[in-house]
Amino acid sequence: MASGSPVSGGQQLRGAIDSGETDDILGRIYDRSILKRVFAFMADMKWHLVIGAFGILLRTAANLVTPLVVAMATNRIIEGNFDGLTIASLLYLGILLLTWVAQYLETLHLSYTAQGILMKMRVTMFSHLHDCSMSFFDRNKIGKIMSRVQNDVDQLQMLVSQDFIMVAVNLVTLIGIIAIMVSLNWQLALLSMATLPVLVIIVVIWQQHARKAFVLARRAIAMVNDNLQESISGVRVTQNLSRENRNVKNFDEVNKANLEANKKAALLQGMIMPLTQILTDGSYVIVLIFGGFQVLDGTMPVGFLLAFLLYIQRVAQPVQQLATMYTEIQRAMASGSRIFELIDVKPEIEDAPHARTMQKAGGTI
């Protein structure tokens, strides 16, 4: 169902995370209609978002410059240049201060943005649910509705307040690292980047398998929550019919399914870090061998070699995060579709167009 289309008050909502369809959990990577409606909720938060994004970019720039300052300090130590070392040390302290300010702006203002979006969306949905017809609640599970008001809103606000910004930051970081390394020593930069295509291929393949595992884990916990909500709300009926053992058995089954799903997700999560580290270490070896020869030949300062090692350490993280965020954005788009499907539900009984609102009831007939 397209976002924004009117929905009958008695219609059953789509299955979302308790359905068997992956597309209900992972939407399109870009949905203009959903983003347009989401941005309407953040009209009062746009300056907080801008300042928070500025803080992230400032912190990213500081992280990119830090290895160059370390290289400068190292070269000055080897040269015995005390004045140059003092300048490099002061620059490093300045970068640390700048990073602290950037992190403060980022944390404070993105938190304001996220909480503001959460509040406005949940108030809108809560108010709308009070206008929905009783038949709507007969046809839809309370657990499913609660999932949209809580989990889906959380997922969508993460998209607006962090995910899009972090995609841009990771791209800037990756491009910036490569550009700086090429400017320092293009031959060594090409050699050190030899493992990057392999890293990208591994992360893309991993992301495809991890996506399925994370979807199953998300669906499993949704089933646990749904079973728990129905069991607690109907506990009186359960006790009257002596179904305690049966309900405990059902809950145990969904809990075991949740455990198995999360074990598979954890297995995949545990695989990517060692693989990433192995490739990073491979780049370290390449840089140490070829860069070491250049240092011994006197064609490259020791500080540049150290800078290369520090930049290689920073390359793997943006690639991994970009692959993970692809799934996060898809999930958020699907959450947005479910949120606006609920908001678009029309009551079966509506007031007349020119109906007057009762100001104060007299209390008599």
What's the pLDDT at 18?
45
Question: Contact at 8 Å (CB) between 308 and 181?
Answer: yes
Whether the model pTM is above 0.75: no
Give a yes or no: residue 351 inside a domain.
no
Tell me how far CA of residue 362 lies from CA of 267, 359, 365, in angstroms. 67, 10, 8
Give a yes or no: residue 312 inside a domain.
yes
| Domain that includes residue 212, residue range | 26-343
Give a yes or no: residue 1 inside a domain.
no
Give a yes or no: residue 255 inside a domain.
yes
CATH of residue 42: 1.20.1560.10
Question: In terms of Cα–Cα distance, which of 206, 209, 204, 252 is closest to 227?
Answer: 252
Cα–Cα distance between 229 and 141 in angstroms, integer? 10
Question: Contact at 8 Å (CB) between 109 and 55?
Answer: yes
Domain total of the chain: 1
Tens of each residue's pLDDT in the chain, 365 residues: 444 455 555 556 665 444 444 445 555 666 778 878 888 887 788 888 889 889 988 999 999 999 999 999 998 888 888 888 899 899 999 999 999 999 999 889 988 888 888 888 888 888 888 888 888 887 877 777 877 888 788 878 788 777 878 888 888 888 999 899 898 888 888 888 888 888 888 877 887 777 778 777 777 877 787 788 778 878 888 888 788 888 888 888 888 988 988 888 888 878 877 887 788 788 888 888 888 888 888 888 888 888 888 888 888 778 777 777 777 777 778 778 888 888 888 877 776 777 777 677 666 66
- Amino acid type, 229: Q
345 backbone dihedrals φ, ψ, rounded to 5°: -65, 125
Model pLDDT for residues 111-166, shown as the tens digit of each residue: 888 888 888 888 888 888 888 888 888 787 777 787 788 878 887 878 877 787 88
Give a yes or no: residue 190 inside a domain.
yes
DSSP state of 95: H
What's the pLDDT at 21?
46
Q: How many CB atoms lie within 10 A of CB 307?
A: 24
Cα–Cα distance between 274 and 328 in angstroms, integer? 22
Cα–Cα distance between 39 and 28 in angstroms, integer? 18
Give a yes or no: residue 135 inside a domain.
yes
